[in-house]
Amino acid sequence: MTTTRPANPPAVPGPPFRLPDIPQKHPDDMTSVKYLHETGQSHHLSQYLGNRDTTLVTAERYVMPVPAYVANESRYPDLLVAFNVDPAAYEARNGYVVSEQGKAPDFILEVASRRTASDDLEGKKDYYERLGVDEYWLFDSAGEFYRFTLAGYRLEENGYQPTEVREIRPGVMQGYSAALNLNLRAEDGYLGWHDPATGEHIPTLQSQTARVQELEAELRRLREGG
């Protein structure tokens, strides 16, 4: 008698690959929270750049060349900006995968801390250069760990080349980011984003609220005068 062997059951797909969460930060490494997120600077930038369907303004997740995690070689930035990408894929992978997004991030910023400064200056700089990140910036509130407050690099044919950063008035350093079309300005220990056309800081909740209050006051004066 001939028996029929049962067909192999179809393979059950496994869960999609996700990058691990970054390690819990040491208290000494919380400088990005203090100088970018608590001050609202990352939010201001996200609001200014707009188009959240294709623009990423994010932080604290791994940036990888391919969907694979390599311990001790992977890096996660304090701030990442990428245009014309897929934010949904970023969320699905729990990080930025260059091969899937079709390009490296346009802009990465690191904020100095006692424990990460040497890696920011060497290991991360080399890593982002190899990935093809267009611009890499470094900010140190007091110049304590980097020995400078602000520096930038732009990717050229022969690797990262320094971006001009100059002192526009005593103690205030500024450099132009072509990737963002904004000036980065280090002033009074904090970092800000300034419109190169006007010199003004990009809109913030405080500035927008103040503007509304000014308009309301002007409207009241006109009504009372009428």
The pTM (predicted TM-score) of the whole model is: 0.85
Tens-digit pLDDT profile for residues 189-222: 999 999 999 999 999 855 545 444 454 455 566 6
Instruction: Note whether 44 and 126 are within 8 A (CB).
Output: no
Instruction: Note whether 150 and 165 are within 8 A (CB).
Output: yes
The per-residue pLDDT for 207 is 52
Averaged pLDDT, 70-78: 91
Residues 6+ apart with CB under 8 A from 216: none
Tens-digit pLDDT profile for residues 61-71: 999 999 999 98
Residue 75 per-residue DSSP state? B
Q: What average pLDDT does the chain have?
A: 89
The per-residue pLDDT for 212 is 45
Percent of the chain with pLDDT over 90: 71
Residue whose structure tokens are 């890499």: 136
The string of DSSP letters for 164-184 reads PEEEEETTEEEEEETTTTEEE
Of the candidates 213, 180, 186, 217, which has an alpha carbon nearest to the alpha carbon of residue 49?
180
Tens-digit pLDDT profile for residues 32-48: 988 888 888 899 999 99
